[in-house]
Chain A
Amino acid sequence: MRTKVVLHDPAPVVPMRCTVTAAAGVIEARDVVKVFVARSERRRRRAFLALHDVNLAIQQGRFVSFVGPSGCGKSTLLNMVAGLIRPTEGAVHYKGRAVDGINTDVGYITQDDNLLPWRTLLENVEVALEFRRVGPEERRDRAHRYIGRVGLDGFEHHYPHELSGGMRKRVALIRTLIYEPDVILMDEPFGPLDAQTRVILQDELLRLWEGTGKTIVFVTHDLVEAIALSDEIVLFSRAPGTIKHVYPVPLPRPRDVFRIHADPQFPAFYERLWRDLKEEISTVDLEGAVHGNR
C-alpha cells in the first residue's frame, strides 16, 4: 500500500494541507479512508481500498478541481461531501461539522443531467424550491430570473426530451444555483457534451460563479478544463486514491476559456500537471484517455 506521497516537483514541497491557511476550510477531509466491497462472481465478496489517508481543506469561495486517473476515488470524496457516501474511517467536515447523512446545504450536479423528464423546463428549475417549501410566486420569480440568465427564455414549457444536451445541462445548473447553496459539487458535469458546447458552458459557469463567493468543487478528467476554471487543482493518485499534490493555478482572472491556450502561463503549467498525472495512469488508461475516457 502506497501511503507515502511522492512529489516530482523541484519546487518546495507543499504540505498536503497547503490550502489550509489560518482559517479552517468550508470543506475538510480528515484522514479519510474508504473501503468498498465488490460482489464478484460466485458470491465472493472482495473489499478494496478506494481512498486512503485523504486530507484536504477547501476554502470558502474557491473553485477547486479534482483530477486523477479513472477510479481513483475523486467522485467518492465528492459524494462524501454531499453525504451520499460515508467514509469507512476518518471524517469529512462541512462548515466545521462532520457530514452525517444527506447534506442538503450543498448543490450537487452530476454527469447525467438528472432532470425530471415529466416536468417542463420551468418546473424542473423550480423543483428544489418546492422541496424547500418556497411559495409558488417566489418560485416562479426566481426561476424566470435564472432561466433568463442562461438564455433559455421561450423554452419554459418544453420537456427535457425536447431540449438539446447543452440546454439540459444549463437547466441542471440553474436548478441548483437557484437555491443558492454555498458549496456546489460538480461531478464531471460537462463530460457528455460535445467540445464546443463544453467550452461555452465552462464560460457560462465562470460568469455565473465569479463574484458570488461560492465554493465549487469540480471533478474532471480534462486537464484543460481544470486549468481554465479552477483556483486550485487537486491531483489524486491511482487507486487507492490519495492526494498526490495540490496546485495553485497561476493563470489570472477573469479568464477567457475560449483562448485559455493563449495564456503565457498555460503551456508550462499544463506540462507539469500532465507529467505528474501520467505517472498515475497505466498504459491501458492512456489509450482510453486519447479517446475521451469517462
Chain B
Amino acid sequence: MATGDVVLSRRGPSRPAGRQLLEQVERQEARRARRERRTTLLGRLAFAAVFFLGWELSSGRIVDQFFVSKPSAIAASLWAMATKEMLFYHLQFTIIEATVGYLIGAVAGLIVGFALARVEVVYRIVEPFVVGFYGIPRIALAPLFILWFGIGITSKIAVAAVMVFFIVFINTIAGVRSAPPQLLQVARVMGASEWDLVRKVIFPAATPFIIAALQITVPQAMIGAIVGEFISSNRGVGHLISRAAGWLDTPGLFAGIFTLLVVVLVMNLGINSLGAHLMRWNPKHGSMRDAP
C-alpha cells in the first residue's frame, strides 16, 4: 500500500457526518503526504547543490586540486570520455559483466540454497563448509578466475557471480528455514502437497530474505566486475579508471567513479521497485497511521 493511503477509507459506509469527517481527514492526509514528498525532494536538491558547490569552491583553495579535482573538471572529463574515449563502449562491457554475473550468481544461489535448506540431512552435513567458504574474502578469488578464464569478459562475470552467489545462497537458506513450522503443519492438514508447500508457503516466507539479498548484491556484482577489470583487462570502466590512475588523471578517475555510481543507482532502483511489489503484504510497506 502506498504511503498516505488511509485504511480507514475502506471501512465501508458509515453515518453521513462521519463520512464527511473521513473524507476531510483523507484530503488532509493526501496534502500532508504531498508536502512531505516535496520537502524531501527540495532537501535533496539543496544537499547536492551545497555538496558540489562546496567541492568546487574549496578545490584549489583549501585542498590541492591534484588530489580532489573539482566537479567542473570532472564534468569536462566525462564529456571528453563520452565523445573521444568511447566511454559507452567500455561501459557496455562492465554492465554486461556485472549483470550476467549477477543473474548467474543470484539464480545459482537461489536454486542451491533452496535445495540445501529443504533436505535437512544434507544441510547438517555441509553447513560448516558453507560457513567456511562464506568466510573467504571473495575478491581474493579474482586472480584465480583470471588464471582460469583468461583476461576476457568471462573471468569478470565469474568474479561478479561469486560475489553475488554466496550472499543470495546464505539468505535463501535462512529464508527457507524461517517458514514457521506450525504454518507448514496447518497447510499440510489443509491438503497441501510438497510442491504446494514450496510454492505457496516456503517461497513466499523466504522472499523478505531473498529480496534483501538481491538488493545488497547489486553493488557487489559491480565490485566484482570492476575488481576483475582492475587486475587485468583492456576494456571496461574499471580499465578506464585504472588507466586514468596510471596517468595521474584525477578528473578522469572521478569521472569513471561517477559513471559507476549512476549505473548502480539505476540498477538499485529497478531491484527496489521489484522488491516493493513482491513485499506489498509486509507490514513495513504500508500501515495505518494516526489521523492528525
Contacts and interface: CB of A to CB of B under 8 A. Distances in A.
A128 B201 contact: no
Contact of B191 (A82, A84, A132): A132
The CB with the most chain A CB atoms within 10 A, among B186, B281, B282, B287, is that of: B186
B288 interface: yes
B281 A103 contact: no
Contacts of A120: 281
B84 to A, nearest CB: 51
Interface string A49-65: 00000000000000000
B11 A154 contact: yes
A84 B288 contact: no
B182 A130 contact: no
A252 to B, nearest CB: 33
A114 B12 contact: no
Contacts of B185: 82, 84, 108
B198 to A, nearest CB: 13
B34 interface: no
A82 B201 CA distance: 19
A227 interface: no
Interface stretch (A15-23, A30-38, A142-150, A156-164): A156-164
Interface string A93-129: 0000000001110111010101011111000000110
B244 to A, nearest CB: 47
A221 B281 CA distance: 33
Interface residues of B, number: 28
Nearest to B280: A159
Interface string B271-292: 0000000001111000110000
Interface string B176-191: 0000101101111111
B207 A118 contact: yes
Contacts of A159: 280-281
Contact of B189 (A82, A117, A130, A155): A82
A102 B207 contact: no
Contact of B188 (A102, A130, A132, A158): A102
B287 A161 contact: yes
Contacts of A108: 185-186, 189-190
A280 B187 CA distance: 34
Given A131-B190, A132-B191, A154 B287 contact: no
Contacts of B11: 154
Given A110-B182, A154-B11, A154-B12, A116 B201 contact: yes
Contacts of B139: none
A116 B280 CA distance: 13
A45 B192 CA distance: 33
24 contacts: A83-B189, A84-B185, A102-B188, A104-B188, A107-B189, A108-B185, A108-B186, A108-B189, A112-B182, A116-B200, A116-B204, A118-B205, A131-B187, A131-B193, A131-B196, A131-B200, A132-B191, A154-B11, A155-B10, A158-B7, A158-B10, A162-B287, A176-B190, A179-B191
Given A103-B189, A128-B190, 13 more contacts: A83-B189, A108-B186, A108-B189, A118-B281, A127-B200, A128-B191, A130-B196, A130-B200, A131-B192, A161-B282, A161-B283, A162-B288, A179-B190
